[in-house]
Amino acid sequence: MPLNLKDIPTANGGWFKPKEAAEAMAILVEVKDYERQRPTPNGPKDSALCDVTVFKTPEQLDRLAPEVSKGQRIEQTVLARDLATLVGSAVLVTVTQVPATKPGAHPAWVWKQITDMGIRNKVIAYAEQRDAAVDAAVAAAPSFD
């Protein structure tokens, strides 16, 4: 029987902080799980559990050497809700702030889709290279049957 290896989504990657990724060239967000109104110490929040790959600089993008966080929680209201229907999928984005519509309110963080085909192709090449390495490792693993 072939090995059907899967990851269990766990929140060991901390919380996504948009301010730290605001200047990133590209962010690959792979949505693993979504919970609507998850209980938190600060009240219930929509929460997406994701693997987040951040290419902060052009050099990281050229070398295909991003910063990877597996099992990161995204709980900012707009960011999390945009990921609700994407469980099992991935998006290639950046993050930016939009001005508040009400006086005294904080600006909201939102995803911005990447349309630059050069950046998209490099991130897709990274993902294909990463997946090929995992497939090779699984194929090289000993069989205990």
- Determine the Cα–Cα distance for residues 105 and 133; give it in Å rounded to an integer: 46
Amino acid 7: pLDDT:
65
- Share the mean pLDDT of the chain: 88
Whether the full predicted model's pTM is greater than 0.75, yes or no, is yes
Task: Give the model's pLDDT for residue 8.
Answer: 61
* Confidence band, pLDDT 50/70/90 cuts, at residue 53: very high
The residue ranges of every structural domain in the chain are 18-138
pLDDT tens per residue, range 84-93: 999 999 999 9
Check pLDDT > 80 for residue 33: yes
Q: For CA atoms 117, 119, 123, 128, give the dihedral sign.
A: positive
Strand partners, 109: 97
Task: Inform me whether the pLDDT recorded for 38 exceeds 70.
Answer: yes
Taking residue 95's Cβ as centre, other Cβ atoms within 10 Å add up to 22
* pLDDT tens, residue by residue, 82-134: 999 999 999 999 999 988 888 887 888 999 999 999 999 999 999 999 888 88
Mean pLDDT of 53-63: 93
